């Protein structure tokens, strides 16, 4: 119970500028924007949808999950934090990142993965993010982490990357391009900034071949993930691979990393009846939600906190259902190369 109380009240101890005074208005605007729009309309207005979502969700993510906003395959001997770090360093190793390389992190969040990958590889990494609040958080954390010249950040849309062509040795994305309204478009932008021979590695959110669009349970889970995570429309694996090729890339390899694990990637959202896992069980999350509702009612927590947490929890429930049914994975790995000039 003590852990649940800390989880509920922890948001109150974040820096003052992270508390959203108009949170109630924002959650209403987001749900209206999402629920009243078709997938095509969400694609057209993807910038507004994504920015509104992360304005709402960032503080909750950072408090409950840490600075790395992604899943990871986990083994029995690992902590959650250890599995997340290993997942990031596996990407850096697979991509061949090393000292003095110039690399772009596409959709860098608040810079948690960038920190680990920069320290591991000694590459100079530029984080790209179109959410002003997350960029400001990333810059502040980079200063706290003392990354120096290894890290820099720019605010920009990955559908129109503000960088010169042929200037980056490599690029990567960790569960980020799912927010794109057009996969060929975002991959073409990444292709543009890479030097000939440069590689792009990404963990992609995709619907697997087990997804059945005629199955009501499958469809509800897909829609729940999209609503709870600010996504225009989740795509099947084939769309990702075909889009990389259409953008000009040579696809080096692609496979789902999720099966290579002892503990399912969605287990942190399920929780177990242990001191550390109780907060993520249904009863633990119910306690957190009701506690935050009470704090909001007595005006200790910002108005809209309860609604935001409820939205995120429902998105988490949909992820669990989709994970258990194996119709979705958040870590479909793709490695692609920009051809050399003479090819």
How high is the pLDDT of residue 309? 62
Poorest-confidence range of 42-46, 63-67, 207-211, 300-304? 300-304
Mean of pLDDT over the chain: 82
The structure tokens 């969700």 sit at 57
Q: 76 with 262: CB under 8 angstroms?
A: yes
**Helices 46-65 and 132-145, packing angle to 10 deg:** 40
- pLDDT over threshold 70, residue 284: no
102 contact partners, CB below 8 Å, separation of at least 6: 123, 124, 126, 167, 168, 169
Q: Rounded distance, CA 171 to CA 279, Å?
A: 36
- pLDDT over threshold 90, residue 138: yes
CATH label of the domain that carries residue 14: 3.40.50.150
How high is the pLDDT of residue 276? 42
Q: How many CB atoms lie within 10 A of CB 2?
A: 7
Q: What's the domain range around 103?
A: 1-343
Section 135-140 average pLDDT? 92
How high is the pLDDT of residue 59? 75
| Token couple for 306 | 């309860």
Confidence band for 63, pLDDT divided at 50, 70 and 90? confident
Write out the DSSP string of 52-75.
HHHHHHHHHHHHHH-S--S---B-
Q: Rounded distance, CA 247 to CA 176, Å?
A: 17
- Nearest to 142, CA basis, from 170, 114, 117: 114
Q: 236 with 328: CB under 8 angstroms?
A: no
pLDDT digits (tens, 9 = 90+) for 178-219: 999 999 999 999 999 999 999 999 999 999 999 999 999 999
How high is the pLDDT of residue 187? 98
Write out the DSSP string of 108-133.
-TTSHHHHHHHHHH--EEEEEES-HH
pLDDT digits (tens, 9 = 90+) for 222-280: 999 998 888 889 999 999 999 999 999 999 999 999 998 889 999 888 754 333 444 44
How high is the pLDDT of residue 227? 87
H helices within 123-175, ranges in order? 132-145
How high is the pLDDT of residue 74? 92
Q: Rounded distance, CA 208 to CA 329, Å?
A: 7
- Nearest to 308, CA basis, from 7, 20, 25, 27: 27
pLDDT digits (tens, 9 = 90+) for 2-45: 333 444 444 444 443 444 445 556 656 666 666 776 777 777 76
How high is the pLDDT of residue 17? 43
How many domains does one find in the chain? 1
Q: How many CB atoms lie within 10 A of CB 188?
A: 18
Query: How far is C-alpha 136 from the chain's CA centre?
Result: 17
> What share of the chain has pLDDT > 70, as a percent?
74
Q: Is the dihedral of CA 221, 225, 231, 235 positive or negative?
A: negative
How high is the pLDDT of residue 44? 72
Section 132-155 average pLDDT? 91
Q: How far is CA 70 from CA 34, 67, 121, 268, in A?
A: 22, 9, 20, 11
- pLDDT over threshold 70, residue 285: no
């Amino acid at each position: 119970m003590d852990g649940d109380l800390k989880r509920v009240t922890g948001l109150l101890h974040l820096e003052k500028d992270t508390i959203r005074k108009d949170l109630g208005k924002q959650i209403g605007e987001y749900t209206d924007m999402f629920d009243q729009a078709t997938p095509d309309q969400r694609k057209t207005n993807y910038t507004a949808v994504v920015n509104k979502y992360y304005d709402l969700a960032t503080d909750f993510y950072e408090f409950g999950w840490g600075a790395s906003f992604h899943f990871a395959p986990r083994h029995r001997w690992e902590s959650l934090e250890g599995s997340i770090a290993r997942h990031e360093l596996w990407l850096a190793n697979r991509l061949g990142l090393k000292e003095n390389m110039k690399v772009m992190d596409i959709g860098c969040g608040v810079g948690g993965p960038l920190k680990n990958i920069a320290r591991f590889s000694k590459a100079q990494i530029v984080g790209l993010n179109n959410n002003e609040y997350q960029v400001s958080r990333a810059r502040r954390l980079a200063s706290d982490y003392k990354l120096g010249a290894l890290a820099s950040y720019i605010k920009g849309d990955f559908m129109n990357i503000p960088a010169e062509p042929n200037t980056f040795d490599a690029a990567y994305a960790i569960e980020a391009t799912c927010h794109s309204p057009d996969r060929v478009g975002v991959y073409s932008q990444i292709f543009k900034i890479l030097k000939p021979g440069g590689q792009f590695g990404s963990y992609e959110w995709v619907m697997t071949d087990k997804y059945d669009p005629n199955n009501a349970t499958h469809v509800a889970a897909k829609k729940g993930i999209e609503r709870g995570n600010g996504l225009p429309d989740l795509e099947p694996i084939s769309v990702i691979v075909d889009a990389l090729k259409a953008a000009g890339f040579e696809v080096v390899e692609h496979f789902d990393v999720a099966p290579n694990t002892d503990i399912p990637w969605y287990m942190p959202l399920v929780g177990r009846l242990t001191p550390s896992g109780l907060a993520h069980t249904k009863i633990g999350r119910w306690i957190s939600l009701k506690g935050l509702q009470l704090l909001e009612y007595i005006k200790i927590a910002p108005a809209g906190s309860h609604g935001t947490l409820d939205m995120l929890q429902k998105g988490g429930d949909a992820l669990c259902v989709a994970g258990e049914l194996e119709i979705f994975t958040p870590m479909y790995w793709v490695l692609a190369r920009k051809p050399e000039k003479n090819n």
